[in-house]
Structure 1
Amino acid sequence: MILFFEYAIASGFEDEGILEEGKMMFNTLLNQFLEIDNVTSLIHKDFADDYKDFENLKIVEIEDDKDIEIKLNDILKNEKIDYALTIAPEDENILYNLTKIIEKYPVKNLGCSSNAIKVAGDKYLTYLTIKDYVKTPKTFKPKKYVIKKIDGCGGKFNLFDENFLIQEFVEGESLSVSLIVGKKIYPLSLNRQYIDERGFVGGEVNIKHRLKDEIFNEAIKAVKCIDGLNGYVGVDVIVNDEIYIIEINPRITTTIYGLKTEPSLAELLIKNANNEELTFKVEGKEFTINK
């Protein structure tokens, strides 16, 4: 039995853009997991009907997001779960806390460890961890900063507190690397990211690039800096004349919607959890997100 859920769908998240990304990731992997084994999933009552006709899917309905951790504990305690994977944001330690619960039980976590999430989920800790090994934009310690025009007047300024990060801006191509991390690190694909004022709005998966091998090498070097990264990991990069590591995402990313592997990504994650050698073929496609 596989326990698999996505936080936006489980919590009934109201932001349409985030919810769409959640469904893209969840639906992609859910169909793949169901080809392997029965699946139990936490799904908010408002979305449960969308999945009621899926064979071999057990739905645990969620009334309120405060119920998620309680239900997760109940499932792991009372059902025979072999593998577990949650897709969730790092914000407010959501992914960290859910992973800590999974780690309390004798199941194989298909995702990253809580210790790795603690580092990779904090952009400043990530910077401190990787800055001596790869190129990454200069990043300032989080504290209160005043930002004002060089020639401003009238006492006008913007104040940012410790929840914000000030980082050097690097011009270049916005790309990402999809990896599977285990006893070995396997690059799956190099991807182009479409980013505008709305944020991440889509991409092109498994692109060709003259620096592809070098980009893979830099992403692998960065990932090796953080102990406990496991399963699917996404690394955001900016490429100009040089390769800059921007962020390490210790979780499934929306890029998987455009990623097709043979065997499936779900099967690769399970093989990886069992310390098996991975061999695979990769195809990709372009996709967009409605925001």
Structure 2
Amino acid sequence: MKILVYEHITSGALCTEPLPDHLVREGNAMLQALLNDLAGNQGVQPVILRDFRLDIPPHTHRCHYVRDLDDFRRRWLACLDYVDGVLPIAPETDGLLAEVQSWVLKTGKRLLGCRPEATAIAASKTRTAEYLAAAGLTTAPTVWLRDWQPDTFTAGALICKPDDGAGGTDVLYFENATALNTWKQQSPSETWEKQIVQPYIQGTAASLSLLCAEAEAHLLCGNHQQIQIENGAMRLTGITVNGMEYQRLDRKIFQGLADTIASVLPGLWGFVGVDLVLSPLPVVLEINPRLTTSYVGLREVYGVNPASWFMTLLHKGMEAVELPPQPNQKVTISVEEGLAIQATHC
């Protein structure tokens, strides 16, 4: 089976502009891990589009170098003709991921990822909160910046971020309502229509790695996220895959949470990430309807090829996927140091 692994940042779609180093590191790490894992499955031939400024990663059956946008369009269409399915990894921002998913479906190729209708919901933090809250999950109180007033929430720190987009992009931290109100008054009114405000929730930053399909979910592992606040901005500096401590909360709680999310958004398919805060019970923040950086550590955590679950899901369905027992390894990924990996025993 020929599979186009479409990693947007490294694909050549940005060939006319400078490549953002940190996004290239993350994109390359995910792409290389996935290519390695897919190539370990008999009969799978990974195909990629590649920015001409980057080297060809190993385990690539066919690579199409991209030098300009016309070249990108031609090679994208040529790849769609050549492959059997497409596994997209792209930001949700501005509807990009949903557009890629829709295009794959229109061409009649197999979409090896979430359905665009699920991605459209997950890409919006307010819509995600509405769907999950209606299903009984705890979510962060959320209001649009245009509607926010200094007395909207009780005293404490606040977060302001875009409603649309991927994960922790452009997340601003304010120590109190006065600081946020000052920033709001100095911001153009169009910003008010795109940003949301949430109280800063004290607790442990975490994420879940899931395998989803057919309104069901397998919990692969819970991850501990290292978040740094500096100069009024929040950023992810590291992830400990399988680093979530279950002593306080039973793993069944997180599997139940995963089951609810999959039932609320039945179009989730394949590898999916969920961001949350343990405060101390889980507060769900966002859903990432695609493979995330945590995937890079899954093979070492489990000691098996995680793409084998993916291929079983593809060919035989969710009921045929059998996970090994809960692993006793954890892997720390330093996002700011070239995605260096350090393995330790739990």
User: Which one of the candidate residues 44, 49, 53 is aligned to 1:46?
Assistant: 53
1:288 counterpart residue number: 334
Is 1:24 the equivalent of 2:29? yes
Distance 1:91 1:156, change over 3 A: closer
Match of 1:273 in 2: 314
**Residues 19, 156 of structure 1: CA spacing in aligned structure 2 closer, same or farther, 3 A cutoff?**
closer
CA separation in 2, counterparts of 1:22 and 1:57?
19
| Distance of 2:180 and 2:125 partners within structure 1 | 30
Classify 1:109/1:267 alpha carbon distance in 2 versus 1 (closer, same or farther; 3 Å).
Answer: farther
Residue identity in the other structure for 1:204: T
* Equivalent in the alignment of 2:256: 217
Question: Could you tell me which of 9, 19, 25 is aligned with 1:14?
Answer: 19
Tell me the SS of whatever aligns to 1:9: coil
Q: Residue type of the partner of 1:88?
A: A
Aligned to 1:59, the other structure's residue is in SS state strand
Alignment of 1:1-291 (within 5 A): 1-10=2-11, 11-12=13-14, 14-36=19-41, 37-47=44-54, 49-51=55-57, 54=58, 57-64=61-68, 68=72, 70-76=74-80, 78-79=81-82, 81-132=83-134, 133-141=136-144, 143=146, 150=178, 157-159=185-187, 160-183=191-214, 184-197=216-229, 199-207=235-243, 208-210=245-247, 211=249, 212-260=251-299, 261=302, 263-274=304-315, 275-276=317-318, 277-281=320-324, 282=327, 283-290=329-336
Residues 185 and 254 (structure 1), Cα distance of their counterparts in 2 relative to 1, 3 Å cut: same
CA distance in 2, matches of 1:61, 1:154: 47
Structure 1: state its 5+ residue gaps: none
Cα deviations by residue, 1:127-157 (Å, 9 ceiling, x for unpaired):
1111122000111146475779659999993
Q: Counterpart of 2:204 in structure 1: which amino acid?
A: E
**Structure 1 range deviating more: 256-265 or 143-152:** 143-152
**Could you say if the C-alpha distance between residues 149 and 116 of structure 1 is closer, same or farther in structure 2, counting changes exceeding 3 Å?**
closer
Q: Is the 8 A contact 1:90 1:121 kept in 2?
A: yes
Residue 198 of structure 2: SS of its match in structure 1? coil
Distance 1:69 1:121, change over 3 A: farther
Aligned AA (1:122): S
TM score, norm. by length of structure 2 = 0.75
Match of 2:56, SS? helix
Aligned length: 286
Q: TM-score, normalised by structure 1?
A: 0.88
Cα distance, 1:151–1:114 mapped onto 2, change above 3 Å: closer
Q: 1:71 to 1:158 in 2, by over 3 A?
A: same
Letter in 2 for 1:41: I
Provide Cα deviations, 1:84-119, integer angstroms capped at 9, x if missing partner. 201110112111111111111333222101111100
Task: Report the more deviating stretch, 271-280 or 236-245.
Answer: 271-280
Classify 1:30/1:239 alpha carbon distance in 2 versus 1 (closer, same or farther; 3 Å).
Answer: same
Deviation (angstroms), 1:214: 1.2
Instruction: Specify the alignment match of 2:154 in structure 1.
Output: none
Q: CA RMSD in A?
A: 2.7
Shift of 1:220: 2.6
Contact 1:219–1:245 (CA under 8 A) maintained in structure 2 = no
1:67–1:161 CA distance, 2 compared to 1 (3 A):
farther
Residue identity opposite 2:253 in structure 1: E
Matched position secondary structure for 1:170: coil
Query: Aligned equivalents of 1:3 and 1:153: distance in 2?
Result: 46
Distance in 2, Cα, partners of 1:122 & 1:15:
24
Deviation at 1:192, TM superposition (A): 0.4
One-letter identity of the residue aligned with 2:105: E
User: CA separation of 1:241/1:288 partners in 2, compared to 1, >3 Å: closer, same or farther?
Assistant: same
Code of the aligned partner of 2:283: Y
CA distance in 1, matches of 2:304, 2:240: 20
Q: Would you say the 8 A contact 2:35–2:60 is kept in 1?
A: no
* C-alpha deviation, 1:170, in angstroms: 1.3
Q: Write the distance in 2 (CA, Å) between the matches of 1:130 and 1:143.
A: 23
**CA distance 1:244–1:145, shift in 2 (3 Å):** closer
